[in-house]
Amino acid sequence: MKRCPCCNGVGEIEDETPCIMTPLEFRLWDIVRRAKHGISGADVIEKLYADRIDGGPLTAQNVVAQVRLNLNRKLEASGQEIVSSTPGRGAVFTIKYHHRPTKFIPKRSRSPHSASFSKRGARKDFARRVSNWLGRQA
């Protein structure tokens, strides 16, 4: 949290984003994040393109869908996702937070059954086993 420079520190600014975003992705994430109970797709488009005289492109709904897709790929690492209630018109966007448990990654062993065992070593091991087996047979 930083103090707002334009209002002499009365307000506070949250400037920590969960990942690196383009300006359009940041505005979409910020609009959806600030909506307490979700926000409709039409309101998202209206707020995204509020600074444009023409109100945004004619394909603004498709642009928002694509930006949301790209942003969800980036937010996946931080456990967040922008979800919509229904696809298409009348969608309500919200941020869904995923609880990600920590992963336990065991150390790899150097056995013939592990993925890190080389083919050459596997051939030598196989040849040794065959010769031992043949030696027991005689």
Exposed/middle/buried for residue 75 (C-beta within 10 Å: 0-12, 13-18, 19+) = buried
Q: What is residue 72's predicted lDDT score, i.e. its pLDDT?
A: 93
| Residues 86 and 136 grouped into a single domain | no
CATH of the domain at 30: 1.10.10.10
- Provide the greatest CA pair distance for the chain: 94
Contact yes or no for 47/31 (Cβ under 8 A): yes
Is residue 8 assigned to a domain? yes
CA 111 from chain centre, in angstroms, equals: 35
Q: Length of the chain, please?
A: 138
Closest Cα to residue 19, out of 79, 107, 87? 79
| Residues 88 and 137 grouped into a single domain | no
Is residue 82 assigned to a domain? yes
Q: What is residue 36's predicted lDDT score, i.e. its pLDDT?
A: 85
Is residue 18 assigned to a domain? yes
| Residues 83 and 51 grouped into a single domain | yes
| Residues 70 and 27 grouped into a single domain | yes
pLDDT by residue for the chain (138 residues), tens digit each? 556 555 666 665 566 788 899 999 999 999 999 988 899 999 999 999 999 999 889 999 899 999 999 999 999 888 889 998 877 667 888 888 876 555 555 555 555 555 545 556 666 777 777 777 777 665
Domain count, the chain: 2
| Residues 92 and 135 grouped into a single domain | no
Q: What is residue 89's predicted lDDT score, i.e. its pLDDT?
A: 67
Q: What is the pTM of this model?
A: 0.61
Closest Cα to residue 69, out of 28, 20, 18? 28
- Structural domain boundaries, residue 119: 110-138
| Residues 71 and 124 grouped into a single domain | no
